[in-house]
Structure 1
């Protein structure tokens, strides 16, 4: 019941593997990783101790869970390869952007499919994973949620929101990191050495996110706590808004959302 085959050992696959291996739910011996890249396989085998293979069919035969962690353009070839091998009791978990459950079931109609969208925070057990499945997937959905709870937080959503979840949760990692980079650059310009600016900006970002997460407050409530009348914080915030900070972020998010709806 705990055997997993992960097809795809790229960046996201490695993050998921790392999180699962370091959890209490799975052992490294429960996990097999399939990838065409010998470099990727060598890395996950040496660092994480999982089994590896370049042969999909042999690797999925005894797996209860098959995680499809490939690029969208690779998915159809993978499904065509496994469609005559997978059995009805095997659960397919897809991390593939832009491919619906119905599209996967069009190739493998007898398998239950769960769509998940984790992010690379999985490597540190800090992933935000959104999960969607059809109504007939109940017991398996609970298990999948427990599986991805080991690498961070999970949220079950309607499948129609999976594209938006990908932008907000997965692409969102890059968006926040780009803002973090800008904060570090500002720190350097004020006089800090780069490593000092990074320490300060990173810890400040962790603190800001933790305040909202643990207090359950709206970000503006926490902003109010550090903005004094005629102070430097409100001066900086207003200048950022004059330069289009919020508008730019929203436009960037929506540009990604428009793009993801065209990816196949």
Structure 2
């Protein structure tokens, strides 16, 4: 009774099952912030009107979100195709050479540290229950937690890109000129810091002392600032050349 109660209370929360959509969401949000803010900063630095800046920004947002969705869908679909091909190949090998496949499974468990007799017992039990599942999991590393989900990845990427891309537009409320550029950069840096911190916490890597939170946050912020600096310089050079 006590053991059953302990098992009920002991619930571990790991991040592995979130890997697929989390990767797509983090990439999407970061790309939305960096690419859109860089585009807006570059166009604004060239001396363009507010209308031109907004047009360029929203065009970049739309194109970026669709591109991220399509790219994630195609990429994760290819991953799913590979997993399906592995499944069919393993199914055929089990049908053609069950003894060799069983020996292979025993070898895997021995390599992981089980004594020979225990490895044989484990391989026999798992083979009798679900031979294909055992080989897919223990030989090839495929399982439910890393299953490819193209639609989920595409939706997470596109939606997070859109949310991230909207942040730099907050700077457009500032007066045109240098003040607007400063505000755009400032709100983008805050957005990048928030995205980095949320990604670290969602991944379960944020430590209580904040050290594990600081590193991914700085990585995201510094990368975004570098991109904005380069496109801002391009905008200034374009304005100078046009003038």
The TM-score range, normalised by the shorter chain, is under 0.3
TM-score normalised to structure 2 length: 0.26
Q: Could you say which structure has the greater relative contact order, defined with CA pairs below 8 angstroms and 6 or more residues apart?
A: 2
In terms of fraction of residues, the more strand-rich structure is: 1
TM-score normalised to structure 1 length: 0.24
In terms of fraction of residues, the more helix-rich structure is: 2
